[in-house]
Amino acid sequence: MRRIALIIEYDGTNYVGWQIQPNGIAVQQAIGDAFFKLIGDRPTLQASGRTDSGVHAYAQVAHFDTDCRIPADKFCYALNTRLPSDIRIKASFEVPEDFHSRFSVREKHYLYTVNNAPHACAFTRDTALHVHHPLDVGRMNEAAGMFMGTHDFNAFKAAGSNAGATERTIFRSEWTRDGSYLSYHVAGSGFLYNMVRIMVGTMLRIGMGFDDPSAVANALSDPRRTNAGDTAPAHGLMLRRVKYDLFDTEDFS
Amino acid sequence: MRRIALIIEYDGTNYVGWQIQPNGIAVQQAIGDAFFKLIGDRPTLQASGRTDSGVHAYAQVAHFDTDCRIPADKFCYALNTRLPSDIRIKASFEVPEDFHSRFSVREKHYLYTVNNAPHACAFTRDTALHVHHPLDVGRMNEAAGMFMGTHDFNAFKAAGSNAGATERTIFRSEWTRDGSYLSYHVAGSGFLYNMVRIMVGTMLRIGMGFDDPSAVANALSDPRRTNAGDTAPAHGLMLRRVKYDLFDTEDFS
C-alpha cells in the first residue's frame, strides 16, 4: 500500500465545494469519478480542508492510499484526461504513510480578489468580487495589519459552525493593488469556517468608509460574531498555497 | 438622431461569435436583447469587425443610431444590468455622424495566448491554448518579425473566404513570455478572415521545431494557403484594442 499526494487546481464555479453534498457535484466526487474510470475504484480522498461552493483552489492538496501499480508521478496525467477541464491535477507523488493532507499542514495561504471598478469584468466575473463603491486600500491595510499574530477569531467564524478552540495565528495579512484589482493575501496556521470571507467582509466595510479600521481590533478583543462584518461572497476566494514540512505546493507551480 | 459608440468586452466561450448565426446565440444578439429590454427596440449595431465563435474581446467597438433620450454615457450602465455577465459595456459615448466603427478603424490589436505547460490550467482553459510540447520562443519571434511591414497575406486567409485585396500592413508582431504563458501581440491596419489564427498556427509549428522560421518568409513570397500552417484554435484569440482618429479603446481601460 502506497500513500500518494495530489496537488489539485480547480475553478469552483460549477461545484458545490470540495466535500460531497446532496445538491450538486463536488470536486471530490468529480475526482472520484475520474479514479473510477482509471482504476475501477474510488479511493478515499483526504484534502487539506474543505472549500465552500464557488471557492477556487490554485493549490489544494489531497492524499489517498492505493495498491494500484500506476507509477505515482503518472496519476496526474492519467486523471487529467478523465477529468472535466475545470479541475486539473498539477502533480502526483508518493508520500510517507504518516503524511496527512489535513493534519500535517503547517501553513495555508488564501487569496481574495476584488475588482474595484465602475463595471464588472466579463473575464473575472467568477473569480473576483466586483465592488463599484470606491475602496480605500490604505484603510483596509490598516485593518489588515490588526489580524497579524495570535488572536481569538471567534467573531470571524460562521455562526453555528463547530465549537472548539477559536484561537488562530496569522503570519501575513495584506492588501495589494494592481490597476482596479485589489488582492488580499492571508497566511495562517489554520482558519475557522468562513473566517477569511468574514475578515474580507469586515475590511470591505472599512474600505467603503462605513466602519473605522478599529472595528477589527474591537472584534478581536470582544469576539462576538456581531462585531465583525458580513461574509464576503465565495467566488472571490481562492486556496492559494499549502505548506507542509515535507513540501510546499509552490514547488509545483 | 444621435450616433453612439460602445466599448464592449466579452468572454466569447458561450457565443457563436459577434455576428448572428442560426446555430446559437451571437454577442450582437445578446446586446440586441438587452436593448429591447431597455428601449423596446433593437438598433442596428455596426461592429469594428466580426469575431469568430469562441474568440474573445477585451475591447470591441460598435455604434448605433438612436432617437432615444437616454444620455449617451448612461447606456453602458443601463445595458449592463440587462446583459449576461460574460458581456460588459465598458463605455458609451456620442460620436459624430460620420464616425463608423468599421470603416473608420486606423489600427487593430489582437492578442493570442498560449499556455506552454505539462498540464492545462483550470482557470485559463477558455482563454489560452494549452500546448504541452515545448515551444522555442526565440524561433517564434524570428518568424514573427518577418510579418512586419506590408505583405500579401493571401496564404494567411481562410480558404474560400471573400476575394478582394490581400495586402495588409503589420505594425507590431511579437511574442512575450510570462512564466508558462506565451502572448503573441499583433497590430495592423486590418486583418483577413482567420489571418491571426493562421499566423499563430504557422508560428506554433516553428516553435515546436517542425518548420524553420523561413517558412513564414516563404508563405509571404509565395502566398498560397498550403504554404502556411493550420488555423490555431479560436479560444486563444482576443480582440485587444481598436484605434480610431477619434479615440483609442485603451482610453477606456
pLDDT over 90 (residue A166): yes
Residue A162 above 80 pLDDT?
A: no
Q: Average of pLDDT values for B8-31?
A: 96
In this structure, are residues B137 and B177 in contact, taking their beta carbons and an 8 Å threshold?
A: yes
C-alpha B210/C-alpha A205 separation (Å) is: 56
Q: Which residues of A touch B11 (CB under 8 A)?
A: 122-123, 125
Nearest of A98, A220, A228 to residue A158 by alpha carbon: A228
**A97: helix, coil or strand?**
coil
pLDDT of residue B86: 98
Grid-cell match 474600505, residue found: A207
Q: Minimal CA–CA distance to A246: which of A7, A33, A1?
A: A7
Q: Which residue has the cell 493532507?
A: A101
Say whether pLDDT at A253 is over 80: no
3-state secondary structure B61-102: EEEEEECCCCCHHHHHHHHHCCCCCCEEEEEEEEECCCCCCC
pLDDT in tens, B129-159: 999 999 999 999 999 999 999 999 999 999 8
Mean pLDDT for A191-214 is: 97
Cα–Cα distance measured from residue A154 to residue A166, given in angstroms and rounded to the nearest whole number: 5
A contacts of B238 (beta carbons < 8 Å): none
Give per-residue pLDDT as tens, B29-57: 999 999 999 999 999 999 999 999 999 99
SS3 assignment, position B118: coil
Confidence of residue A164 (pLDDT cuts 50, 70, 90): confident
Chain A: residue whose CA lies nearest to B9: A122
The pLDDT of residue B159: 82
B174 touches chain A (CB under 8 A): no
Question: CA B126, CA B116: separation in Å to the nearest integer?
Answer: 15
Averaged pLDDT score across all residues of chain A: 96
Q: Which three cell numbers stand for residue B97?
A: 455622424
Q: With cut-offs at 50, 70 and 90, classify the pLDDT of residue A99.
A: very high
Mean pLDDT calculated for residue range A227-234: 96
Contacts by residues B143-149 (CB-CB < 8 Å, ≥ 24 positions apart): B143/B202, B143/B203, B143/B206, B143/B213, B143/B215, B143/B216, B144/B173, B144/B174, B144/B175, B144/B184, B144/B203, B145/B173, B145/B174, B146/B213, B146/B216, B146/B217, B146/B220, B147/B173, B147/B186, B147/B199, B147/B216, B147/B220, B148/B172, B148/B173
Which domains, ranges and CATH numbers included, belong to chain A?
2-104 (3.30.70.580), 107-241 (3.30.70.660)
Q: Residue A66 — φ and ψ, nearest 5°? A: -150, 155
Residue A158 to residue A164: CA distance in whole angstroms: 13
Query: What per-residue confidence (pLDDT) applies to A112?
Result: 98
- Is A163 touching B (CB cutoff 8 A)? no
In one-letter notation, the amino acid at residue A63 is H
State the pLDDT at residue A57: 98
Output phi, psi for B130, to 5 deg.
-85, 125
Q: How confident is the model at residue A160 (pLDDT cuts 50, 70, 90)?
A: confident
Check residue B181 and give its pLDDT. Answer: 98
More confident residue, A253 or B236: B236
Residues of A in contact with B10 (CB under 8 A): 122
The percent of residues above 90 in pLDDT, for chain A, comes to: 97
Out of B77, B80, B120, closest to residue A88 by CB:
B120
Scanning A137-194, the segments in alpha helix (DSSP H) are: 137-145
**pLDDT band at A3, cuts 50/70/90?**
very high
Segment B175-183 mean pLDDT = 97
Q: What per-residue string of b and e applies to B178-187 under the rule 16 or more CB within 10 Å gives b?
A: eebebbbbbb
Q: Are strands A237-243 and A56-66 parallel, antiparallel or unpaired?
A: parallel
Question: Is B132 an interface residue toward A (CB < 8 Å)?
Answer: no
Q: Which residue of B6, B79, B119 to mutate against A (max A Cβ within 10 Å)?
A: B119
**Mean pLDDT for chain B overall:** 96
Q: Is residue B163 predicted with pLDDT exceeding 90?
A: no
User: pLDDT digit string (tens) for A132-156?
Assistant: 999 999 999 999 999 999 999 999 9
Distance CA B4, CA B75 (A): 9
* A161: pLDDT strictly greater than 80: no
pLDDT digits (tens, 9 = 90+) for A53-85: 999 999 999 999 999 999 999 999 999 999 999
- Which of these is catalytic: A11, A41, A52, A67? A52
What single letter denotes the amino acid at residue A185?
H
In this prediction, residues A235-250 reach a mean pLDDT of 98
pLDDT, one tens digit per residue, over B61-119 is 999 999 999 999 999 999 999 999 999 999 999 999 999 999 999 999 999 999 999 99
Q: What is the mean pLDDT of residues B162-190?
A: 94
Confirm whether B52 is a catalytic residue. Answer: yes
% pLDDT > 70, chain A = 100
Is residue B162 scored above 80 in pLDDT?
Answer: no
- For residue A110, give every residue at least 6 positions away whose Cβ sits within 8 Å of its Cβ, in sequence order, or none: A185, A186, A187, A191, A196, A237, A238, A239, A240
Q: CB distance from B237 to chain A under 8 Å?
A: no
Residue of A nearest to B84 (CA): A122
Nearest by Cα to B129 from B199, B58, B204: B204
Residue B211 pLDDT class (50, 70, 90 cuts): very high
Question: What is the predicted ipTM?
Answer: 0.93
